[in-house]
Structure 1
């Protein structure tokens, strides 16, 4: 997979389309919740395989953390380590911006995935867009 920091309108549209497929269609997140006011200030990433968009995410900076958000991989590309690659690239972006800590709100079914990547659960369970989540953090080297 080739991961780009979004620079063109087409890359941005590809990222939005992947998020719509995974979150709005698959997980039934309302579109007005998925696309929010933070999209304009975020750094977006898009992953391509064979020139097809298959993964997307965004990074924002909140307090002393780089916050990983909207992490998704299309269904037919899951199980191939693309999510791990995307997280690593997001962490690289965070470090490049001068931050040493990462934070994310993980859907509870994905906590083991993030724990394998070094994230620790730091909150109780809460609901976001009707889906159970926990907050997780990681100290970046």
Structure 2
């Protein structure tokens, strides 16, 4: 923990000063810095790659249990607890499909509105269908536009 902090701050502060402040030896820091990662960290690095590929292969929908069984089927030796810990470290989340919610209540006994248009959406004459809608005029730089006619007046 201390060595990691020294390593991240070594560009701003001298290593000797930080080792003195944190009460660690300089030689211990340099030994930690040159030491290869432990076997568990190396295996975790390989497992992270396996988990990421399995997560993408399953379209990011599998949780810990299904992802664990998927990895075991692929021949990877890993426990579900380790899958959970690595997923948490990688901040992987499942894409959960939302439940369909019915928004229309068609089983009611209220009267229906009359179908005035009868699915005839083509208008033959101006203002035949939308007589209640008035044309909107917009004046821009001495031009008056009618959005109804889509032309300059």
TM-score, reference length from structure 1: 0.19
The structure whose residues are more often strand, as a share, is 1
Q: Tell which has more relative contact order, 1 or 2 (C-alpha 8 A, sep 6+).
A: 1
Mark the structure with the bigger radius of gyration.
2
Q: TM-score, normalised by structure 2?
A: 0.18
Q: Specify which structure has the higher proportion of helix.
A: 2
